[in-house]
Amino acid sequence: MARRPKSTPIRVLIAKPGLDGHDRGAKVVARALRDAGMEVIYAGLRQTPEDVVRAALEEDVDLIGLSILSGAHMALFPRILTLLKKEKAGHIPVFAGGIIPDEDARRLKKAGVRAIFGPGTTLEEIVTTARQLARGPA
Amino acid sequence: MSGAARIPPVARAIRRGDRRALARAITAVENADPSIAPVVRALYPGTGTIPLVGLCGPLGVGKSSLLSALIGALRAQGKTVGAIAVDPSSPFTGGSVLGDRIRLERRADDDGVFFRSMASRGEAGGVAATTREVARLLEAAGFDVVFVETVGSGQVDVAIREIATTNVVVLVPHLGDEVQTLKAGLFEIADVFCVNKADLPGSELAARDLAELVSLGKGRDNWAPPIVRTSTTLPLGVSELWQAIASHESFLDTYGGRLAGERRRLAAEIAGRLRDRVGKDVSERLERDPELRTLLDRVVARRTDPMSAADQLYRDWYRRR
């Protein structure tokens, strides 16, 4: 299906795969994306990769944002990318944030995660990147 | 006119149960993408027969948790469920956080459920302008029951009445005294009352106040809304809530209310669509069309008034056609 016209709201799924104890960071990002005019589907904590992919497809999102603190990113993120491809939805851009060591970040990017935001990233940067990923360069 | 050959492939895919086609069609409907109109039209004849259940009530009463519990109860009976959960769009940025999926508990591989979050996109009344059409898409996709959870509503957010065949008003203990239940608006649109969070003290009193309200006079169409106490934490009353919904649905079938209700809702939909189009058209013309600009100028200069201007427009402009 053709890329949606720029006037329609960007739909983005924010989810926390795995067993993290809190979701403050994900909520801060969700709120920033909301304030940037996006429709944020907030799936919250303890999502399996299957949950994330099912939600992304039902909600027909333009973009998926994953947040993780537990250290399980090398297991969970590639699984989500694989499931998306299996569902012929590999075109949906995935970005991530949380506690992800640089070396892992490099490998995840190679595996197809489009952007990774560590601690200290400004919300402005996240919003700008999210918009570009969803809509292509302005 | 609607021969099988004319049915667009997307409409066929939706009928077949293609979930991706359904998800994309919903987005297109939300975005008023003109390419989806033939699909919506092709699917319309097969709709209007299933229970379309509204869940409304103030914010924080537990509508999303109840929705999840009802989905679970229906899945246990082997029924398939489509669900739409509406949350508000920001009047300032247009953005939205749609958080109703958080409560959803189901197996990720269960194709018997389709859950979609919707932003209200500037529409007042508790639902989005396109919620009705999205509900029809879910029906066309073959789901046995469709739920619409509204924006956490105030006293007058009653637009769900123009969509649902059975409307559940969800309340909790301590929302106010029994006089609140006499007020117009929300309490008038219940086919079923649900006192949720029945694990909290005061829920029996709240249920009694509602029973008092129901006993004060005949409801619409001789239906006395049942009152069900529920708790999703205990859990308590969820299957009773579904039974109350189902009994209203059979009441509609038995006493002919289904067709009358559908007729009323569709009349309102046609009038609403026309109102939107004419309103938009007039707003634009008042600035663009020289004749109408002059009229607006006269109103601004207090040489005529808005009521007379509207009367004149109605007479001259629309009656002529």
What chain B holds in terms of domains, given with CATH numbers, is 1-46 (no CATH), 49-254 (3.40.50.300), 264-318 (no CATH)
Which pair of tokens denotes residue B22? 């359904």
Q: Given CA atoms B133, B138, B143, B147 in this order, what sign does their dihedral have?
A: negative
Domain membership flag for residue A1: no
Report the pLDDT value the prediction gives residue A2, as an integer from 0 to 100: 45
Chain A interface, Cβ < 8 Å to B:
1, 4-5, 8-9, 11, 30-31, 33-44, 48, 50-51, 53-55, 57-60, 87-89
- Which CA distances in Å does B213 have to A122, B169, B193, B210? 54, 14, 11, 5
Name the DSSP letter for residue B102.
Answer: G
Entry pTM: 0.91
| pLDDT value for B138 | 98
In 3D, which of B28, B132, B151 has the Cα closest to residue B90? Answer: B151
Output DSSP code: residue B231: B
| Contact residues of B toward A, CB < 8 A | 19-20, 23-24, 26-27, 30-31, 89-90, 93-99, 101-102, 108-109, 114-117, 119, 121
SS percent in chain A: helix, strand, coil, step 5? 45, 20, 35
pLDDT at position A6 is 59
Residue A57: list chain B partners with CB under 8 A. 19-20, 23
- Find the helix or strand (DSSP H, E) in which B312 lies: helix B306-313
Flag residues of chain B having pLDDT under 70.
Answer: 1-5, 156, 178-179, 218-220, 318-321
Q: Looking at this predicted complex, what is its ipTM? A: 0.91
List chain B residues with CB under 8 Å of A92: none
For residue B164, which phi and psi values (nearest 5 degrees)? -85, 145
pLDDT digits over B134-164, tens only?
Answer: 999 999 999 999 999 999 877 767 889 899 9
Q: Give the three-class secondary structure for A2.
A: coil
Q: Which residue in B has a C-alpha nearest to residue A46's C-alpha? A: B102
- Whether A3 is covered by a domain: the verdict is no
Domain assignment present for residue A2? The answer is no
In a domain, A59, yes or no: yes
CATH number (domain holding residue A104): 3.40.50.280
| Closest B-chain CA to A38 | B95
- Give the residues of chain A that fall short of pLDDT 70: 1-6, 137-138
Residue A26 falls inside a structural domain: yes
DSSP 8-state secondary structure symbol assigned to residue B236? B
What are the pLDDT digits (tens) for A25-56?
A: 899 999 999 999 999 999 988 899 999 999 99
Q: Is the peptide bond before A101 cis (omega within 30 degrees of 0)?
A: no
**Which residues on adjacent β-strands are paired with residue A117?**
A97
Q: Show residues of chain B in contact with A91, CB under 8 Å.
A: none
Nearest Cα to A46, choosing from A74, A1, A76?
A: A76
Say if A21 falls within a structural domain: yes
Count Cβ atoms below 10 Å from residue A11 Cβ, excluding itself: 23
d(CA A44, CA A24): 10
Q: Domains in chain A: how many in total?
A: 1
Q: Are the Cβ atoms of B23 and A41 closer than 8 angstroms?
A: no
Q: Report the candidate in A58, A46, A5 with the shortest Cα–Cα distance to residue B85.
A: A58
Of A35, A36, A51, the CB nearest to B108: A51
Backbone angles phi, psi at A92, to 5 degrees: -70, 120
**Is position A138 within any domain?**
no
Residue with tokens 């953005």: B95
Domain presence at residue A5? no
Choose the closest CB to A35 out of B89, B95, B119. Answer: B95
Residue B299 identity (one-letter amino acid): V
Tell me which residue range forms the domain holding A118: 11-133
Buried-state track B229-253, b at ≥16 Cβ within 10 A, e below 16? bbbbeeebbbbebbebbeebbebbe
The pLDDT, as a whole number, for residue B188 is 84
Contact (CB, 8 A) for A78 and A47: no
B226: closest CA of chain A, how far (Å): 33
**Rounded to whole angstroms, how far apart are CA atoms B98 and B64?**
11
